[in-house]
């Protein structure tokens, strides 16, 4: 059994994040010792680390909660985990496509930039209403 500080260090989550996850019911509240301090088991620290790793991979907190709860279900199906992961992969791909569009727009804007130029063409274009249409990743015919 470890304290919240040790659970924080071992899991990589801040103490504030651990408390938040407990308040929101994302993780079970640990038992408390006679001194009323939280006492975390190895399994609870592992669950916190698992959530931290899922969040580092960009999973939403809701998806992280579902994925960690699937692990504890007796009839848990890997297909459910796979479906969530595949959906997340598509979300990541959509974000990558959007970032590539941003990169192209910025490259176009900065083509005319010159060192020492008093009036910045990039800022002038943006101020004068030049709008760059970034295609929505899921439907390239719409703009955002």
Q: Are residues 103 and 54 in the same domain?
A: no
| Span between the terminal Cα atoms of the chain, in Å | 51
Q: Are residues 110 and 68 in the same domain?
A: no
For residue 122, the enclosing domain spans 97-143
In whole angstroms, give the CA distance from residue 33 to residue 21.
Answer: 20
Q: Among the residues of the chain, which ranges form H helices?
A: 4-11, 15-23, 42-56, 61-72, 78-110, 121-127
Residue 95: name the closest of 53, 54, 60 by CA. Answer: 60
Q: Are residues 107 and 64 in the same domain?
A: no
The mean predicted confidence, pLDDT, of the chain is 83
Residue 33 lies in a domain: yes
- The pLDDT tens digits for 59-72 are 999 999 988 888 77
What's the total number of domains in the chain? 2
Q: Are residues 68 and 109 in the same domain?
A: no
Q: What is the pTM of this model?
A: 0.71
The pLDDT of 73-99, averaged and rounded, is: 88
Residue 91 lies in a domain: no
In whole angstroms, give the CA distance from residue 12 to residue 18.
Answer: 10
Instruction: Give the CA diameter of the chain.
Output: 70
């Amino acid at each position: 059994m470890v304290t919240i500080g040790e659970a924080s260090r071992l899991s990589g989550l801040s103490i504030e994040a651990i408390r938040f996850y407990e308040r929101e019911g994302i993780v079970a509240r640990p038992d408390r010792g006679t001194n009323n301090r939280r006492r975390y088991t190895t399994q609870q620290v592992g669950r916190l680390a698992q959530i931290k790793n899922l969040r580092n991979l960009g999973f939403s907190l809701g998806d992280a909660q579902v994925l960690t709860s699937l692990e504890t279900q007796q009839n848990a199906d890997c297909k459910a985990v796979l479906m969530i992961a595949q959906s997340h992969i598509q979300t990541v791909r959509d974000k990558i496509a959007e970032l590539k569009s941003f990169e192209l727009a910025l490259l176009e804007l900065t083509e005319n930039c010159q060192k020492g130029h008093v009036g910045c063409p990039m800022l002038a274009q943006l101020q004068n209403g030049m709008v760059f249409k970034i295609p929505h990743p899921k439907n390239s015919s719409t703009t955002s």
